[in-house]
Amino acid sequence: RGYSVSLLEKNTSIASGSSGNPRGIVHFNPGRQLTPANLFRLSAFRYAVRHYRNLAKRHNFSWQASGLVQLARDEKELDEYHKLVAQHLYDSDFITSLNARQATEISGLVINDDGLLFPQAGCLDPVALCQAWTNQENIKLFTNRQVTEINFHEGQWQVAITAPHGQEYQEFDALIICNNGATPGLVHQNNYPALFNYGQTDSFNFDNSRLESGRVKCAVRKKGYVIPWGDEDVSRITVGGSFTTDENMSNESAAMQELNFQMLSHISPVFHQPLEANQKNGESNISSRVGRRCSTPDYLPLAGPVEKNRLTASI
């Protein structure tokens, strides 16, 4: 929108934290009532899809408008899906019901559950997306910059920064803190409600010849999720959905990996069986990654003016 932006990154490159997962799904959880909150999320989803499609024309970040199959976890959830579609709150090109046979044809996996299809959903490379976002003339990226203190003085935010060459100071009209709760002392963030979850993704190569369809065609969610990377003879697959609130599990964990694979087996056994065999034979090519997610209890963002007693803080 024409603003001049300075992005202060404490690591050597952007998307080094939870934003650096190898693949991500762009999807929408529909509500059974078109409340203002649901309408906002729906508009945000539609905007995101248009934005990623247009951005991908100028930058390569593996945007795949492949759709998403959402499987019901039990009969109760499936009944909720049927009621949702029967209400006709959403257009058929946005959400439709599908049975297990249709889910198998659309996804390329052998699926035994009914669910929903979101044709407009997709998946992408989050790191490449962040790089595309920052590749603009009005955005300056400063890496290896650790913010140590902020003050508000005469209408300006004064930011103290530890840089490779020493201490530096910068002033800004507006300040946005997006550090995933990494420094709770900054402007007393610890006084705001926050939850921390540690999740793990596991990525591996998969021989598409095992699939009758020849490849995994779209993302699939149940309790966990499957995200395809491409349509080559051997494709890369990312699975995830496991998480814990235990900070001691913040490193790659065999237990978290096993939980991901259990959720994967509930989506489609075609993946789980060869993975188990490869692990037993010591032929595993799995790459795991852990990230921490900071959110509010209702998962909505905190936005608005900072109270006067929070304007000065140091770490």
**φ, ψ (nearest 5 deg) of residue 242:** -75, 140
**φ, ψ (nearest 5 deg) of residue 238:** -115, 130
**Count of CA atoms in the C-beta half-sphere (13 A) of 8:** 22
* Average pLDDT, integer, range 222-245: 82
Report the Cα 150 to chain-centroid distance in Å. 29
pLDDT in tens, 154-185: 989 999 999 999 999 999 998 888 877 765 45
* Average pLDDT, integer, range 280-294: 77
pLDDT at 315: 39
Query: At a CB cut-off of 8 Å and minimum separation 6, what does 312 contact?
Result: 150, 151, 152
pLDDT at 83: 93
Give CA–CA dist 231/236, Å, rounded.
9
Most confident range, picked from 104-108, 232-236, 288-292, 311-315: 104-108
pLDDT in tens, 50-66: 999 999 999 888 899 98
pLDDT band at 312 (very low <50, low <70, confident <90, very high): very low
* Average pLDDT, integer, range 204-208: 78
Element at 202 (helix H, strand E): strand 195-207
User: What DSSP line would sit under 63-81, residue for residue?
Assistant: -B---EEEE-SSHHHHHHH
* Average pLDDT, integer, range 195-218: 81
Q: Which residue has the higher pLDDT, 95 or 303?
A: 95
Nearest to 230 by CA among 212, 210, 200, 208: 208
Give CA–CA dist 202/261, Å, rounded.
9
The token pair that represents 177 in the structure block: 């803190």
pLDDT in tens, 109-160: 889 999 999 999 999 999 999 999 999 899 999 999 999 888 888 989 999 9
Question: How many other C-beta atoms are found inside a 10 Å radius of the C-beta of residue 246?
Answer: 11
Nearest to 61 by CA among 9, 123, 13: 123
Element at 181 (helix H, strand E): none
Share of the chain above pLDDT 70, in %: 84
pLDDT tops 60 at residue 47: yes
**φ, ψ (nearest 5 deg) of residue 254:** -65, -35
